[in-house]
């Protein structure tokens, strides 16, 4: 009988969709060898449908304590949630289960068997953890869905800026989508402008104020649709979130920056690697209006090798 892996995570327009997507990515990696279920207090209905289509079970929680009565000895519990700290970790481990924490800010204490952080250059010494804690750190453990892992193996080359891909995640509460789109329509080098928003995006009306025949709007794309659109776009303008890993895996030229604290480590790591053209905090977007292929000549391309699923599955089997 397959060992069970239980994911505890949430997502919404307020907290974003990143936690859900990276848990879904690991679940897809593990699905051949493990029985997968998700437990959430806050999650959009569209994501629940995605889970069920993938063959995963979904359960709604009324409280965090409820999960403690569900997990059983021998299970693996995965937590991706900033609010659930060491006291909750300890309650789970007392059930004689293995605990995995997904984290990208290392700002608290952990009591976990395994910590996963795919931010570049992060080290075990950055964490306050236990002596028995093991780590999967850096881009060798990129939390990507299958299409993107396969895409990373292709080592795609881009020699033009005919098209641009814009995406600021499932929520984009500050509506950077609108600001970046405004800058892009001022640059005639783009023959096609692809704009993707998510199920929790609340500013769709603002986009209707921009009229340009090059515009293509998309919403709530599935994994394959998202990969196909990225891989057909020359340039991607995205934040330093999970979406940055996706466009790098798809082989795009990239402009990126950060606007919330949990993106900063990823931003600084990939900036150190010269993996993208730096837009810092997206405060000055004038460079987009005049961007050309020459601006990307010194970038480090193909930084994601597409083999993270092999490494992650091996580590879960060891648990």
Q: Label residue 221 exposed, middle or buried (CB < 10 Å: 0-12, 13-18, 19+).
A: middle
Task: Look at residue 223 and tell me if it is in a domain.
Answer: yes
Same domain assignment for residues 312 and 226: no
Supply the pLDDT for residue 2: 64
Same domain assignment for residues 165 and 290: yes
Same domain assignment for residues 239 and 256: yes
Same domain assignment for residues 114 and 12: yes
Supply the pLDDT for residue 201: 86
Supply the pLDDT for residue 7: 98
pTM here?
A: 0.92
Same domain assignment for residues 124 and 157: no
Task: Look at residue 229 and tell me if it is in a domain.
Answer: yes
Task: Look at residue 39 and tell me if it is in a domain.
Answer: yes
Same domain assignment for residues 163 and 281: yes
Same domain assignment for residues 102 and 34: yes
Which residues of the chain fall below pLDDT 50?
Answer: none
Counted domains in the chain? 2
Task: Look at residue 302 and tell me if it is in a domain.
Answer: no
Same domain assignment for residues 192 and 311: no
Same domain assignment for residues 271 and 209: yes
Supply the pLDDT for residue 1: 55
Q: What is the CATH number of the domain that holds 55?
A: 3.40.50.11190
Same domain assignment for residues 44 and 169: no
Q: What domain range is 186 assigned to? A: 148-296
Same domain assignment for residues 152 and 285: yes
E runs forming strands in 41-88: 57-60, 76-80
């Amino acid at each position: 009988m397959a060992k069970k892996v239980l994911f505890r995570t949430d997502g919404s327009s307020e907290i974003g969709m990143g936690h859900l997507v990276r848990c879904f990515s690991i679940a897809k990696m593990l699905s051949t060898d493990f029985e997968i279920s998700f437990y959430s207090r806050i999650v959009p209905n569209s994501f629940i449908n995605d889970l069920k289509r993938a063959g995963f079970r979904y359960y709604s929680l009324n409280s965090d304590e409820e999960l403690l009565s569900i997990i059983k000895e021998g299970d693996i519990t995965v937590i991706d949630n900033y609010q659930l700290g060491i006291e909750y970790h300890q309650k789970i481990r007392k059930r004689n289960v293995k605990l995995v924490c997904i984290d990208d800010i290392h700002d608290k204490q952990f009591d976990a068997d395994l910590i996963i952080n795919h931010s570049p250059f992060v080290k075990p010494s950055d964490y306050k953890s236990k002596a028995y804690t093991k780590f999967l750190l850096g881009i060798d453990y990129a939390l990507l869905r299958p299409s993107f892992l396969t895409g990373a193996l292709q080592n795609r080359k881009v020699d033009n800026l005919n098209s641009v891909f814009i995406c600021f995640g499932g929520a984009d509460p500050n509506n950077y989508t609108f600001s970046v789109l405004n800058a892009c329509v001022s640059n005639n080098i783009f023959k096609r402008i692809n704009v993707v928003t998510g199920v929790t995006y609340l500013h769709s009306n603002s986009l209707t104020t921009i009229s340009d025949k090059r515009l293509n709007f998309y919403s709530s794309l599935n994994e394959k649709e998202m990969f196909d659109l990225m891989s057909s776009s020359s340039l991607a303008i995205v934040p330093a979130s999970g979406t940055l890993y996706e466009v790098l895996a798809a082989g795009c030229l990239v402009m990126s920056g950060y606007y919330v604290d949990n993106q900063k480590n990823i931003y600084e790591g990939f900036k150190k690697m010269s993996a993208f053209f730096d837009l810092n905090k997206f405060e000055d977007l004038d460079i987009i209006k005049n961007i050309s292929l020459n601006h990307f000549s010194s970038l480090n391309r193909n930084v994601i090798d597409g083999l993270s699923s092999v490494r992650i599955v091996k580590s879960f089997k060891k648990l």
